[in-house]
Amino acid sequence: MSKTRDTRTIPLNLNTSDFDCIVVGQGLAGTCLSFELIRQQKKVLVVDQDIGARCSAVAAGTFNPLVFKTFSPTWKAHELLPYLKSFYLDLGSFLNRPILNERSVVKSMKSTDQRRLWNIKSQDEDSRPFMRSALEEKVHGVHSNHGFGFVEQSGNINMLDMLREFRRQLGESSSLMEETLDYGLLVIENDHVSYKGISADYILFCQGLENVKNPFFKHLPFIPAKGEILVIESPELHTQNIIHDRINIVPLGGITYWVGSTFTWDNLNMEKTPEARVDLVDQLQDILEVPFKVVEHRVGIRPTVKDRRPLIGMHPEHGRIGIFNGLGTRGVMLAPYFATHFVDHLYNGSDLNREVDIKRFSARG
């Protein structure tokens, strides 16, 4: 992959109509792709209407290198994690604020068989770097009949703070167009695209669920999933780790914690449901041994993909139109590595990984 250059500010793009890339969308995918382009000294214009309604703004931003059912590494975990750490540290420096929180994930063991599997896997060469070998019998404020395993090289990013500050800097550098892209005004030429008098080498779509309305990529197999989360306060919990027991409990600072998430593939709207709130509260009451109070209830729609791999690549007929989407529940881990991978493909001609290349799906619709 290409080497990055030291960049501390977005170039001021006042009174210019020529850009290297137009990036549509500024969730996790759009932010990471835009930042990688800026690191490679590319002029970027982001087109995005709103930050509040997207799934990224609701997410806890967690990353975890283990599949909990098998205690095996997640897909490409050994390759992704070095990129993750350096990328988010660079992005935090760029934004002049820390956004990366390295934390253990405390996994509640559910049975003696699961304890036995943990002990076996923690000695396995592939899984060992991510697992603390010794199980803990007790963790303050958390209930378990079978103890706890600690997952290392995990944590979360300050997602909403990252999105807001990156957006602010885009605006200050005249690199943000706050609107919904009008596809009818997009002009596609052999060597560039143009939109409202603005010219660019490429237009790259990072729209999350909004991709279902995109005439260029609507054939791709997105499966929308609704997720609801709670924000709680628990003065007696006193943990900086992420707690996992069917749901995640993620520290947000002070006595505040993110709790979630539910999954449903029905009623795909932005309405909060009493059923989801009750479900999450019931699970919290089973997990926590200390009092808590619900202070907020949020909802988002995730753009999951049939084969659980990102959707990256160029339109089969329009080589100036690309997509970077479908990062899914492991997007915080995937975004840095594959943003770099995609930019390297665009500007250095490297081959895309076949598992993420949209060529794996035929261009229907």
At 217-245, the pLDDT tens digits run 988 988 888 899 999 999 999 999 999 99
Residue 112 clears pLDDT 70, i.e. is over it? yes
Inform me whether the pLDDT recorded for 12 exceeds 70.
no
Question: Looking at residues 52-63, what average pLDDT do you find?
Answer: 78
Mean of the per-residue pLDDT values of the chain = 92
Q: Where do the structural domains in the chain lie, given as residue ranges? A: 18-58+160-219+307-360, 103-154+223-305
Q: What is the 3-state secondary structure (H, E, C) of the chain?
A: CCCCCCCCCCCCCCCCCEEEEEEECCCHHHHHHHHHHHHCCCCEEEECCCCCCCHHHCCCCEECCEECCCCEECCCHHHHHHHHHHHHHHHHHHHCCCCEEEEEEEEECCCHHHHHHHHHHCCCCCCHHHECCCCECCECCECCCCCEEEEEEEEEECHHHHHHHHHHHHHHCCCEECCCCCHHHEEECCCCEEECCEEEEEEEECCHHHHHHCCCCCCCCEEEEEEEEEEEECCCCCCCCEEEECEEEEEEECCEEEEECCCECCCCCCCCCHHHHHHHHHHHHHHECCCCEEEEEEEEEEEEECCCCCEEEECCCCCCEEEEECCHHHHHHHHHHHHHHHHHHHHHCCCCCCCCEHHHCCCCC
pLDDT-above-70 percentage for the chain:
93
Q: What are the tens digits of pLDDT across the range 118-141? A: 999 999 999 999 999 999 999 999
Higher pLDDT among residues 25 and 264, named by residue = 25
Return the percentage of the chain with pLDDT > 90, whole number.
Answer: 81
User: What predicted TM-score, i.e. pTM, was given to this entire model?
Assistant: 0.93
Residues 77-98 have a mean pLDDT of 97
Q: Does domain 103-154+223-305 have CATH number 3.40.50.10490?
A: no
- Select the CATH number that applies to the domain covering 18-58+160-219+307-360 from these four: 3.40.50.720, 3.10.450.50, 3.40.50.2300, 3.50.50.60: 3.50.50.60
Same fold for the pair 18-58+160-219+307-360 and 103-154+223-305? no
